[in-house]
Amino acid sequence: MADKDEIKNIEEEMLKKAREGEEEQLQEEELNDVKLKREKLALKREETEDNKSKEENGKQGARGLEALSKATVEKSARFVVLFAFILFILDITFQYKGFNIVVTDGGSLFSGILEFILSLFYPILIGVMFYWLIAKKKGWASIISFIALMIFGLFIISILVPNFHPLILIHILYILFFWLAFIKGRDDEARANWILIGLLFADLYLFSAINNFSSGLAESFMGFPFLFFLTIAYVYKETGNLWAAISIVLVLGYYIIVATPTADYFQGIDVVKEKIPLREWPGLFIERVIKEPSEKFGGGTSSWFSSQIQYAITGKVEKNKDEPLGVYLENVQPADKKYYSDENVVVWGTVNARTLDDPIKIKLGCYVKKDGEKIKSNEVDPEDKVTVYKLEEQDFVCTFTENPVSEGVLKEGINTVTAFADFNFETLAYLKTYFINRERKRAMEREEIDIFKEFGIKDKKPISVYTNGPAALGMETTTPLIGVTKEYNGAFPRLSISLKRNKGWKGNIKELKEMVIIAPKGVKLEKCAGDYQAYDKAKCVDNCNKFNIYEDDDAGEENACESSCASFFEDIGEDENLYSIDLNKSSDREFDEDEDDDFKFFTCSFNPEISEVLEENSPITTKFFRAKARYDYIVEDDVTVKIEKSLPDLDK
Amino acid sequence: MPLNKKIILIFAVIALLLIAGCKGRTGTKGSITGVDIRSGVKGIAMDFVKGSPPKNVFEDDVFPIAIRLENKGAFNIEEGKGILVFGFEKQYVEATKEGDGEKQKFKIEGKSVFNPDGDTEFITIDAKVKKIGSQSESRASTILATACYRYETLLGTSACIDTDIYGAEVRKKACTIKDLSFGNGQGAPVAITKIETRMLPQEDDNRIKPQFLIHVENKGNGEVIRPGKYENACTSGALEYEDLNRMNIKALLSGEELDCSLGLDEEPENIIRLRDKKDIVRCTLEEGIEKSEGAYTAQLKVELDYGYSFTISKDITIEKVLKY
């Protein structure tokens, strides 16, 4: 506007001068001057318009970029959610644990890690040079985080290459993708690097770290999808992606309802599907929602503590390639959704059994608990004990007949019926122990020589390995490396054995029938806490008959015991020494069925004979202690049966 | 810095590193170079031949165990001076020939001018798998192999002897006393890493005593055993602590033997003891040298004599053939 006024003023001035007759007097320079001014103004106007349009374009461009990156983020979010969900399914299927590392010697682990880091001096130097050249921000914080990331990355590669597992690689790729899509561009470089290290460590090593501290705790968390929740929660927070929210809800629901053994107490709560009389609500609420889970949770926690503190004999289950050994109840359910009070109540199920050795005799049945007493069902099919050889599946049916409601066995409303399988089973365990001349051991220790490292022995703390089944048979000696000498002067090394219910198994050990210790060549038991005696085939048969291990065998009890004992002694070496622990005292053999963590503990001192236990040509000798426990076990499964008041007879 | 210049710089750095990392042959192009056989810190290298034993074996199987022994040092192991013993978990695996099968003797020549890599020997035995227990499907087992042998470290070098211990002599000397470092070893697992030279005054003013501080280190992955006791290391018998980390030392200066004893009652003469795999021993020419000799270079020879023992292990899995 100001420019237009200026032009107007100039023109008016010219007209005025012309009217006054002074136009002729206007110098050519003044005319040119005016023309120049006009041209300048026009140019200025053009420039202003140019700038305005450029600004407009710039704004559009920025909006365009923003729109483009938002679209990319959205796509990335969808991809991450899908990737994470697939990963979750794979983790559940393959029981992902990251690098399942067992530390046998903490000291060498730390020195090994230190040596590894020191060996990376040159690669790190080159990496830092690269980083310095190409990084936008060159602060010390980002360089240090980059070095840490490089070391950690190389550490992962050094473990992954010899222990390649595709699922681990997929996890790493997922974490890298998530980091690139959501973390790298949004946080400062150093922080982004540390977040990547944290994610990789948690996903690949956290299980191993916890497992080496407490295997019980690690098992509780095994299968929990930390990575899934962390990353998808972040995606949801950043993008509000609906699929992220849905997948979190689905997975959380899955985990709570189905996923891990430690969620068992939820399975103990049967969801009441149908209408329940109002008067039963408070009782049911207290019983089912408060009392039962609290007892199971409290029991589980205290058993974890007690297993860590009260006795420390650990062991691990020998893996089976196919189905695990033992007896399992499956698909236990009432035959009908509901019954009336004048009807027979029928519960059925399937029992699965697998053994590699002696046949299992299983007594099936059902009971209800009333006033602390177990009232069994009137009929069971099959009525007699079922004998399972190797691998079998057997259906069974329990029937409560004779007006169970009017007899007071069952009641109208919700009833808990327990199906059980009572069977004999046998668990074997072995414990590796090293023997060395005591003088040599002392000499090497005095010279600060690591004996295990010197002899290339990686398994420095062997633990008892027991066969699959309902019982855990733990064994341990005073030390894994026993110094052998001619004279112990009373301070003999000791062997301890424990028997308790195996983790993850329902039911209880009813009674220990037989505990046999098999000592290696040259090792004799010196003294036990209780009585014990030598064990041979005759003793085996005698015990078998005495405790009715094989009852009502069609082939004849004696034959079953003979063949079982013959089969057992086929596995025994000529020079091994066998002993059986005296179980005459009921406290030594009977388990308290009300206490989930009841266990039996035996300890004996032993005397290794130097000329027999040490192999002549070997500086260190490896031998195995073995044990066999025969016991009766009862496995149970609860089911809810609903009984309604019977309808009146219309005919009457 | 523009991106393309950065990229060029990165490639230039990589190229420099690659070039710097390449090692050309020593000596002038086309000339024959001698190989120093008395270098390196290895003695006997031992490993299981691939597939022997196999990773998985079955009950009642017989399988081979083969050990490759390479003498990567400069000392020959004579007949009967090398012993190899096998250790099994005998409840599950044992040698088919008990006794002799588990203990083998070997001899291997070390590096020489005609054989700069040293000899290789193979020792093979057969082992039998036993039963693993009726309720088990598989079992892990470890096989050990322990080698015990007599070895020597020989070092020959020149040392400067300068009788002018106070530095009073103004004339130019033939040599200067300095510490000698030997970073590459002498072709044996026990290496002499450094020799410090000192000249000590004697009671007789006209003589000085040359003294050498010899730094010794066990650079190998095994243990040093007193030379006469190395065979015991491959048995289950006792070993006293005085038998471990002990070796004989003999040092000669221009053919004259130096006194290397510790002067302690507990150790016989010229036996040195390693602590934390290292030791420093003082060897002195007790009779001394005339001061008038001045500075000159003398031949110094050091011999270490010891036994050596180390073990390797291999894990196998014993499997049961399931009959259903």
The CATH code for residues A321-422+638-644 is 2.60.120.570
Confidence (pLDDT) at B244: 93
Q: Give the whole-angstrom CA distance, residue A548 versus residue A542.
A: 10
Residue among A409, A324, A333, A398 at smallest CA distance from A366: A398
pLDDT at residue A369 above 60? yes
Q: Give the whole-angstrom CA distance, residue A227 versus residue A195.
A: 13
The Cα of B204 is separated from the nearest Cα of chain A by a number of Å equal to 42
Low-confidence winner among A196-210, A339-353, B83-97 (lowest mean pLDDT): A196-210
Q: Do A617 and B234 touch (CB under 8 A)?
A: yes
Percent of chain A with pLDDT over 70: 72
The Cα of B313 is separated from the nearest Cα of chain A by a number of Å equal to 5
- Stretch (H or E) spanning A579: strand A577-581
Does residue A58 sit in helix, strand or coil? helix
Report which residue type is found at A268.
G
A614: left (phi over 0), alpha (psi -120 to 50) or beta: beta
Could you say which of B92, B136, B236 has the minimum Cβ distance to residue A615? Answer: B236
Could you say which of B17, B245, B313 has the minimum Cβ distance to residue A447? Answer: B245
CB A620 within 8 A of CB B237: no
B159 forms beta bridges with B298
| Residues, chain A | 652
Could you say which of B234, B244, B245 has the minimum Cβ distance to residue A619? Answer: B234
pLDDT at residue B266 above 50? yes
CA–chain centroid gap for B293, Å, is 37
Q: What angle, 0 to 180 degrees and rounded to 10, lies between the N-to-C axes of helices A140-160 and A106-119?
A: 120
pLDDT at residue A481 above 70? yes
CA atoms lying within 13 Å on the CB side of residue A338 = 15
Enumerate the residues of chain A whose CB falls inside 8 A of the CB of residue B324. 390-391
How sure is the predictor about B23, in pLDDT bands with cuts at 50, 70 and 90? very low
Residue among A319, A570, A497, A521 at smallest CA distance from B139: A319
pLDDT digits over A610-627, tens only?
888 898 888 999 999 999
Could you say which of B142, B235, B244 has the minimum Cβ distance to residue A616? Answer: B235
Decide: residue A587, CB within 10 A, 0-12 exposed, 13-18 middle, 19+ buried: exposed
The Cα of B213 is separated from the nearest Cα of chain A by a number of Å equal to 23
Q: Do A444 and B244 touch (CB under 8 A)?
A: yes
pLDDT digits over A102-160, tens only?
554 455 566 677 777 877 777 888 888 888 777 766 688 888 888 888 888 888 887 77
Does residue A236 sit in helix, strand or coil? helix
Q: Do B137 and A456 touch (CB under 8 A)?
A: no
The Cα of B65 is separated from the nearest Cα of chain A by a number of Å equal to 16
Residue A456, CA distances (Å) to A403, B144, B146, B164, B189 in order: 71, 8, 9, 53, 18
- Mutation choice for A interface testing from B60, B132, B135, B137 by most A CBs within 10 A: B135
pTM as predicted: 0.63
Quote ipTM for the complex.
Answer: 0.82
Enumerate the residues of chain B whose CB falls inside 8 A of the CB of residue A442. 241
How do the domains of chain A map onto residue ranges? 2-65, 76-264, 265-310, 321-422+638-644, 426-629
User: At CA A618, angle to CA A613 and CA A624, rounded to 5?
Assistant: 45
Could you say which of A133, A436, A520 has the minimum Cβ distance to residue B91? Answer: A520
Report which residue type is found at A355.
T
pLDDT digits over A170-204, tens only?
888 888 888 888 888 766 778 888 888 888 888 88
Q: Do A467 and B135 touch (CB under 8 A)?
A: yes
Low-confidence winner among A376-380, B152-156, B224-228 (lowest mean pLDDT): A376-380
Q: Do A618 and B99 touch (CB under 8 A)?
A: no
Nearest-CA residue of chain B relative to A446? B241
Confidence (pLDDT) at A550: 61
Could you say which of B13, B146, B236 has the minimum Cβ distance to residue A621? Answer: B236
Residue among B240, B211, B226 at smallest CA distance from B304: B226
For chain B, domains (ranges, CATH) are 44-150+311-319 (2.60.40.10), 151-309 (no CATH)
Enumerate the residues of chain A whose CB falls inside 8 A of the CB of residue B315. 458
The Cα of A568 is separated from the nearest Cα of chain B by a number of Å equal to 8
Mean pLDDT of all residues in A332-350: 88
Low-confidence winner among A305-319, B60-74, B122-136 (lowest mean pLDDT): A305-319
Enumerate the residues of chain A whose CB falls inside 8 A of the CB of residue B313. 455-458
Q: Give the whole-angstrom CA distance, residue A271 versus residue A371.
A: 24
Confidence (pLDDT) at A645: 82
Could you say which of A355, A439, A617 has the minimum Cβ distance to residue B102? Answer: A617
Enumerate the residues of chain A whose CB falls inside 8 A of the CB of residue B83. none
pLDDT at residue B133 above 70? yes
Enumerate the residues of chain B whose CB falls inside 8 A of the CB of residue A131. none
